């Protein structure tokens, strides 16, 4: 159905302009019920979108600022691959103090989701020690030496508690800050994994010791290499993962 699905949010729902940052999806600003919102059209499964929209509703009720899904006129949180979400004002983190606030928000996300089920079709980093595929990841497409390096980084996470991770919090474009709150947007790569993947932040804002920071930095570099393979950014991130 494509963008025709937007009509399910009411006859006055209209697209305004495309937004940057959508890789796997088509993302636009829209107007729904007279208010500015963000709409994302993609090919995720019904189960996948149900997991994501349910998570965002839960986090909103728990006090985190997230792009809450706006229901269709008949109450659904998505329709035909389209999700419409609340628009969030704010700018990216710029200072070390800003990034410390981001770290605090991520730790609260991790605390709130310690028993959350895995996103349908996804694998955690430690799952990928034993399997090759999971949603956007296919280790068989990577050079074997690169896979060995990634797995050497992920094996250091074995036995750690798991929770929902945002998946890409080091991208300043995924954060909307104001004086009184931090909002995390773009939950397209969120899944259940070791919280370390979210904590290799600029300025070591999560205040990790040297060993913990090295574990987090290596594991997150390996994850970003695998999930984006083989674009230029993935190649760059794999270069950051130490040789075995």
Q: Does one domain contain both 65 and 182?
A: no
Number of domains in the chain: 2
How much is the pLDDT for 31? 98
The CATH number linked to 142 is 3.90.1200.10
C-alpha distance from residue 37 to each of 13, 62, 107, 205 (Å): 10, 22, 27, 31
Query: Quick check: is 244 in a domain?
Result: no
End-of-domain residue from the set 86, 105, 140: 86
How much is the pLDDT for 186? 94
Nearest to 15 by CA among 88, 82, 73: 82
- pTM value is 0.95
Structural domain including 81 reads 2-86
How much is the pLDDT for 23? 61
Q: Does one domain contain both 81 and 192?
A: no
Digit-by-digit pLDDT tens for the chain (244 residues) are: 699 999 999 989 999 999 975 566 899 999 999 999 999 999 999 999 999 999 999 999 999 999 999 999 999 999 999 999 999 999 999 999 999 999 999 999 999 999 999 999 999 999 999 999 988 899 999 999 999 999 999 999 999 999 999 999 999 999 999 999 999 999 999 999 999 999 999 999 999 999 999 999 999 999 999 998 999 999 999 999 999 8
Query: Quick check: is 91 in a domain?
Result: no
DSSP string, 4-26: GGGGGG-TT-EEEEE-TT-SSSE
Residues 18, 27 contacting (CB under 8 angstroms): yes
Q: Does one domain contain both 193 and 110?
A: yes
What angle is formed at CA 226 by the lines to CA 151 and CA 39, rounded to 5 degrees? 140
How much is the pLDDT for 135? 82
Q: Which parts of the chain fold into alpha helices (H)? A: 46-61, 96-112, 144-154, 210-228, 232-239
């Amino acid at each position: 159905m494509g963008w025709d699905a937007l009509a399910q949010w009411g006859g006055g729902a209209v697209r305004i302009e495309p937004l940057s940052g959508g890789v796997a999806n088509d993302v636009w600003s829209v107007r729904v019920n007279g208010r500015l919102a963000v709409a994302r059209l993609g090919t995720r499964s019904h189960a996948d979108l149900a997991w994501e929209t349910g998570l965002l509703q839960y986090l909103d009720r728990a006090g985190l600022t997230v792009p809450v899904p706006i229901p269709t006129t008949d109450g659904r949180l998505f329709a035909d691959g389209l999700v419409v979400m609340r628009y969030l004002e704010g700018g990216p983190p710029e200072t070390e103090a800003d990034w410390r606030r981001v770290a605090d928000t991520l730790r609260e996300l991790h605390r709130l989701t310690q028993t959350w089920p895995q996103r349908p079709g996804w694998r955690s980093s430690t799952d990928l020690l034993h399997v090759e595929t999971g949603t956007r990841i296919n280790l068989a497409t990577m050079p074997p030496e690169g896979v060995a390096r990634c797995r050497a980084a992920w094996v250091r996470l074995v036995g750690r508690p798991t929770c929902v991770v945002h998946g890409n919090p080091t991208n300043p474009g995924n954060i909307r800050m104001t004086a009184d709150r931090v909002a995390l947007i773009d939950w397209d790569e969120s899944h259940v994994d070791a919280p370390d993947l979210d904590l290799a932040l600029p300025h070591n804002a999560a205040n990790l010791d040297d060993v913990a920071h090295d574990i987090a930095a290596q594991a997150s570099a390996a994850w970003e290499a695998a999930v984006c393979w083989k674009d230029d950014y993935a190649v760059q991130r794999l270069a950051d993962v130490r040789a075995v």
